[in-house]
Amino acid sequence: MTDRSTPVPWAHEQVEGARGDVLPVLERVVALHRGDAELTTPRKGVASLASGQLGEGTPYPLQLAPAAIMMISVAVKFFILHVESGTPVKGP
């Protein structure tokens, strides 16, 4: 989170309403966002969506399909280990 209290030479109150109370809702969202420093992405994708350029489409479903398939094997293993450890899978 950025220190928003850093003074700057021309900081002022002449414009009615200080920045900090302009948009309380927005400030909360900013705080939430800035907590995540691990975001990475191909910049071209961002540019085409943030601008009005006709996008190339997104590979979202195609990317997620293999991930979903991989999740199935993990879920099966988890289920087997869960049963073998003697933990009931349903309540009494």
Partner 1 sequence: MTSTNPTSETTRPGDDEPAVRPLQPLLHDSVVVLRAPTQAWSAEDGDIGATVIHGIYHGDTRVAAGLRVRVGDTDPEAVSVAPRGATGATFVSLVREIDGHGGADPRVRLERRRDVSAGSVVERLTLSSGVDHTIETSLVVELSPDFSTMSSLKAGIVDGAEWSGEPIEDGIVISSGSVTLRVTAPGAVVSTADGKVRVSWPLDVPPHASESRELCVAITDESLVVVAPRGEVSWRAPEGTTSDPRVARWVAAALADLDALRLALPDHPDDEFLAAGAPWFFTLFGRDSIWAARLLLPVTTDIAASTLRILARLQGIAHDPESAEQPGKIMHELRSAPLTIPGEGVTLPPVYYGTVDATALWVTLLADAYAAGMSELAVTELLPTLRGCLDWIIQPGDNDGDGFLDYVDLTGHGLANQGWKDSGDSIQWRDGRLAEGPIALCEVQGYAYEAVMAGARLLEALGDGRDDTQALRSWAADLKRRFAEAYWVETPEGRYPAVALDAHKRPVDSLTSNIGHLLGTGILDAEEEGTVATLLIGPSMSSGFGLRTLSTEAAGYWPLSYHGGSVWTHDTAIAIAGLVRSGHLEQARVLSEGLLTAAERFSFRMPELYSGDAADEFSSPTPYPAACRPQAWSAAAAFAVQTAVTS
Residues interacting with partner 1, by CB under 8 A?
A: 2-4, 6, 8-12, 14-19, 21-23, 25-26, 29-30, 32-34, 36-37, 39-55, 57-65, 67-68
CA 75 from centroid of its chain's CA atoms: 24
6, 13, 14, 35, 76 from 10: Cα distances, Å = 12, 10, 11, 28, 62
Rounded least distance, CB 58 to partner 1, Å: 5
Amino acid at 68: A
Rounded least distance, CB 82 to partner 1, Å: 23
Rounded least distance, CB 1 to partner 1, Å: 9
